[in-house]
Amino acid sequence: MESDRTRLYLTRHGEVVNHGVYNGQTDVDITPKAVEQMERLRDLLRDKNLRAVYSSDLLRTRKGAEIIGQPHGLKPQVFPEFREVHFGRWQGLSYAQVMERYPSDIPQWLSNVETFRIPEGESMGEVRQRAIPKLQGLMERHRGEEILLVCHGALNRVILADALHLPMDHLLRIEQDYGCLNVIDYTSRWTVVKLVNG
């Protein structure tokens, strides 16, 4: 391993109790299936040399981070900067419900993912502005090490798009299933995405 290479194991939290709606920053719990998804990741990463475990401050990521960090004796350090996008007036609604109540919102969002601010919420550009500087700080702090970050679907897409230098309007081309694993290597010269939605 290059001495300055930092490996990020980036995962999405497991299945939530009210999946199928825009939860955003609503604090929802995970299901028994989610526990199994996190235990699978725990076993997959058991032999990795994890030096730190991070997550957002929302329950669904904290629980996953606790499960995965357990064999390493690591308790998650939580940061609100890694929260899911604030879906504003969409929170708690399904896609169909948003389309019924606010029919112009999603078409506007899809036509300008980066700058369209969801009413009463935030834009994906604003998510990037709060999350990427915090991630860059962690990458510097852990230069040459391996760390875990348990996050959210939209937040993971922002991190992956940043690593790939992908325009943010293409974020929704990146799938992030519950309990998925992404692997990103950061060096002083470049960033290499080794795995997406594994």
CATH of the domain at 87: 3.40.50.1240
Digit-coded pLDDT (tens) for 131-169: 999 999 999 999 999 999 999 999 999 999 999 999 998
Establish if 130 belongs to a structural domain. Answer: yes
In a domain, 183, yes or no: no
**Helix-strand-coil split of the chain, %, nearest 5:** 40, 15, 40
**Distance, first Cα to last Cα, the chain:** 22
88: containing domain: 11-142+163-174
Domain count, the chain: 1
Cβ partners under 8 Å of residue 189, min gap 6 = none
Q: Is residue 50 part of a domain?
A: yes
pTM of the model: 0.95
At residue 2, the pLDDT reads: 57
What tokens appear for 131 in the block? 């999350």
In a domain, 99, yes or no: yes
Look at residue 31 and tell me whether its pLDDT is greater than 90. Answer: yes
Q: Is residue 127 part of a domain?
A: yes
Does 43 fall in a domain?
Answer: yes
Mean local confidence (pLDDT), 181-192: 94
Domain-embedded: residue 5: no
Q: Give a yes or no: residue 61 inside a domain.
A: yes
What whole-number distance in Å separates Cα of residue 136 and Cα of residue 124? 18
Q: Closest Cα partner for 160 from 173, 146, 148, 147?
A: 173
